[in-house]
């Protein structure tokens, strides 16, 4: 029967395996628009009010911790919407409605172009990145301070507002939408909100839906990077095994 000291290296390995953190969950993005040019994105977020097309003058995203990397004066107008590293992002879109004119608003649709690595200008990554076949993408109203939102100081309250309140439209987004324009047709609440804001401006928020997504039957395995503490445990285990081996060799 093995001596207890001979079993110690195996016990160390078992402990290391138990202490290792689980693999990081895969990122989930319904939109991951990644160009850095403000002017280049003007046509990639458009509002159609009746037959009038209006490009968004400003757009961006907020993190769940209330921070943002694209305030109004930033060249990065990324309206990335989804989850990365367990941190959710929500997008926002600002439209000036002064060009509509004094007409009844009868139809509204928001058209967003999703990113593609083959898109021009190149945006770095595909817009839809998820282990699921599809994701539900929602468009909401925004009732908070527009100046704080666009100025980058909206904080957690802005993040919460962008994914709650009145739901104006939803669409199922998938990998096939990379590089394509996706139309979100507004419901009666959205049409009424745009009509009420006619002549002024309006902001919409975007967030992943809460519905259960369809898992991908052939997911791409995600890579995980060990935490620093894991490296420390591994080094400790190796050193212990080397010490025990040296002692056994001296005793033999």
Report the alpha-carbon distance of residue 135 to residue 62 in Å, rounded: 19
Report the alpha-carbon distance of residue 150 to residue 158 in Å, rounded: 10
Token output for 187: 């419901």
User: Is position 81 within any domain?
Assistant: yes
How many beta carbons lie within 10 A of that of residue 170, not counting itself? 16
For the chain, how are helix, strand and coil distributed in percent, rounded to 5?
A: 30, 30, 45
Token output for 23: 């693999």
Cβ(97)–Cβ(57) under 8 Å?
no
pLDDT at res. 84: 83
Q: How far apart are the first and last CA of the chain?
A: 17
Q: Where are the beta strands (DSSP E) in the chain?
A: 28-31, 45-49, 52-55, 58-63, 81-84, 87-96, 108-113, 134-141, 167-174, 181-185, 201-208
User: Is position 245 within any domain?
Assistant: no
Residue-number span of the structural domain to which 106 is assigned: 29-208
Report how many domains make up the chain.
1
pLDDT at res. 33: 60
**Burial of 7: CB neighbours in 10 Å, binned 0-12, 13-18, 19+:** exposed
User: Is position 20 within any domain?
Assistant: no
pLDDT at res. 76: 56
pLDDT at res. 217: 46
User: Is position 246 within any domain?
Assistant: no
DSSP string, 215-251: BPSSPPPPP----HHHHHHHHHHHHHHHHHHHHHHHH
One digit per residue, the tens of pLDDT, for the chain of length 252 reads: 555 455 454 444 444 444 433 434 568 888 866 554 444 455 678 999 998 999 888 888 999 999 987 655 555 567 889 998 889 999 999 999 987 877 899 999 999 888 765 544 545 556 788 889 999 999 999 999 999 998 889 999 999 999 999 999 999 999 888 878 899 999 999 999 999 999 999 999 999 986 544 444 444 443 333 434 444 444 555 455 565 556 665 655
* Cα 170 from chain centroid (whole Å): 16
**pTM for the whole thing?**
0.71
Cβ(202)–Cβ(194) under 8 Å?
yes
User: Is position 219 within any domain?
Assistant: no
Q: How many residues does the chain have?
A: 252
User: Is position 238 within any domain?
Assistant: no
């Amino acid at each position: 029967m093995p001596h207890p000291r001979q079993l110690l290296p195996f016990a160390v390995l078992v402990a290391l395996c138990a202490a290792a953190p689980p693999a990081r969950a895969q990122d989930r993005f319904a939109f991951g628009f990644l160009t850095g040019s403000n002017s280049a994105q003007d046509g990639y977020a458009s509002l159609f009010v009746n037959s009038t097309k209006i490009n968004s003058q400003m757009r961006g995203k907020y993190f769940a911790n209330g921070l943002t990397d694209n305030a109004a004066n930033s060249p990065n107008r990324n309206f990335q919407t989804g989850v990365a590293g367990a941190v959710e992002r929500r997008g926002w879109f600002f439209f000036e409605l002064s060009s509509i004119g004094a007409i009844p608003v009868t139809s509204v649709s928001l058209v967003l172009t999703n990113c593609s690595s083959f898109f021009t200008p190149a945006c770095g990554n595909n817009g839809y990145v998820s282990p699921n076949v599809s994701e539900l993408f929602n468009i909401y109203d925004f009732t908070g301070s527009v100046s704080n939102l666009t100025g980058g100081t909206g904080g957690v309250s802005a993040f919460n507002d962008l994914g709650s309140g009145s739901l104006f439209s939803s669409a199922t987004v998938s990998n096939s939408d990379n590089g394509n324009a996706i139309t979100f047709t507004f419901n009666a609440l959205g049409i009424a909100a745009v009509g009420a804001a006619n002549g002024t401006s309006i902001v919409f928020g975007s967030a992943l839906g809460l519905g259960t997504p369809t898992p991908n039957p052939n997911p791409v395995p995600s890579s995980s990077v060990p935490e620093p503490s894991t490296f420390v445990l591994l080094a400790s285990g190796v050193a212990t095994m080397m010490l025990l081996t040296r002692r056994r060799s001296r005793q033999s």
